[in-house]
């Protein structure tokens, strides 16, 4: 069992406010899981009696739309806590969390989290701030969907993927998404996403090698976005 007080990812989440004795208590009650690529951590409508801390890997947070397609609302990376809002509101989760690559996550039971919430003011403030940040992201996403066209949203998403998840040694985007997943982020049909990627390639804005994408002209992409 890894020690929570020595886990580097806690520095990027609400858990950084916990005292050493609280981290030791959490380490004794948490459960660690390996989630394989494509598997769910939880699904929309589930009751999650605790929170998940992302230790390694990235997952997509998705909402099932009326037409049966998944809209990707957010990409969660190491250090993030999943299920905070549902924990506070005591509701079922309204999003699914699906691994985009092999992941390591830790589950912390509700009883422990609520104990920290009641006894550690800084921790409770951090949790509320993170929930507010998620709401801001949702608001920005809603405005982008309403005011920007698909081409603008794709350019913005490609820049976001490089800025937030980095690149490989060959300069391709580190986080490899399928065309369907990219379409799910920008809110369009997969065919439209493929067509736009081809257009960006012809304009020499990007390079495509299978699923791999390299950004060639970020200045031009920023102008489009």
Cα 155 to Cα 21, 126, 132, 221: the distances in Å are 46, 32, 26, 5
- CATH at 40: 2.60.120.10
81-133 confidence digits (pLDDT tens):
898 888 888 888 889 999 999 999 999 898 888 888 888 888 888 888 888 88
User: Are residues 136 and 215 located together in one domain of the fold?
Assistant: no
- CATH at 215: 1.10.10.10
Three-class DSSP category at 37 = coil
The parts of the chain modelled with pLDDT lower than 70 are 1-2, 5-6, 8-12, 68, 145
- Residues paired with residue 42 on neighbouring β-strands, in sequence order: 97
User: Are residues 154 and 139 located together in one domain of the fold?
Assistant: no
Residue identified by tokens 């403030």 is 125
Dihedral (Cα; 187, 191, 197, 202), 10-degree rounding: -140
- Phi, psi at residue 135, to the nearest 5°? -65, -40
CB 58 within 8 A of CB 77: yes
Cβ neighbours for 130, distance < 8 A, ≥ 6 positions apart:
13, 14, 81, 84
Average pLDDT, rounded, for the chain? 87
Instruction: Pull the structure tokens for residue 218.
Output: 């970020």
Nearest-CA neighbor of 38 among 20, 62, 14, 16? 62
Cα 109 to Cα 27, 53, 87, 96, 116: the distances in Å are 11, 11, 10, 19, 11
Picking from 105, 128, 146, the residue at the C-terminal end of a domain is 146
Could you tell me where the DSSP H helices lie in the chain?
20-29, 84-89, 110-119, 121-147, 150-165, 179-186, 190-202, 218-224
Considering only the C-alpha atoms of the chain, give the largest distance between any 2 of them, rounded to a whole number of Å.
58
Picking from 84, 113, 146, the residue at the C-terminal end of a domain is 146
pLDDT at residue number 212 = 92
Number of domains in the chain: 2
Picking from 146, 168, 190, the residue at the C-terminal end of a domain is 146
CB 54 within 8 A of CB 76: yes
pLDDT at residue number 210 = 86
Nearest-CA neighbor of 221 among 205, 209, 201, 203? 205
Domain interval for residue 201: 148-224
Instruction: Pull the structure tokens for residue 90.
Output: 């005591």
User: Are residues 83 and 134 located together in one domain of the fold?
Assistant: yes
């Amino acid at each position: 069992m890894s020690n929570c007080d020595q886990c580097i990812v806690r520095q990027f989440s609400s858990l950084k406010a916990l005292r050493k004795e609280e981290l030791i208590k959490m380490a004794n009650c948490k459960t660690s899981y390996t989630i394989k690529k494509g598997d769910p951590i939880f699904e929309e409508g589930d009751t999650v009696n605790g929170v998940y801390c992302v230790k390694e890997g990235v997952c997509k947070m998705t909402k099932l739309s009326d037409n049966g397609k998944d809209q990707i609302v957010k990409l969660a990376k190491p250090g993030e806590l999943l299920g905070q809002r549902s924990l506070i509101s005591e509701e079922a989760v309204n999003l699914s969390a699906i691994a985009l690559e092999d992941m390591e996550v830790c589950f912390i039971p509700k009883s422990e989290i609520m104990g920290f919430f009641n006894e550690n003011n800084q921790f409770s403030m951090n949790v509320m701030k993170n929930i507010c940040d998620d709401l801001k992201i949702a608001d920005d996403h809603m405005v982008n969907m309403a005011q920007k066209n698909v081409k603008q949203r794709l350019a913005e998403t490609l820049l976001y993927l490089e800025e937030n998840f980095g690149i490989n040694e060959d300069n391709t985007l580190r986080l490899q998404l399928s065309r369907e997943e990219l379409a799910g982020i920008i809110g369009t049909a997969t065919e439209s996403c493929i067509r736009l990627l081809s257009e960006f390639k012809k304009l020499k804005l990007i390079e495509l090698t299978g699923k791999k994408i390299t950004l060639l002209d970020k200045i031009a992409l920023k102008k489009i976005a």
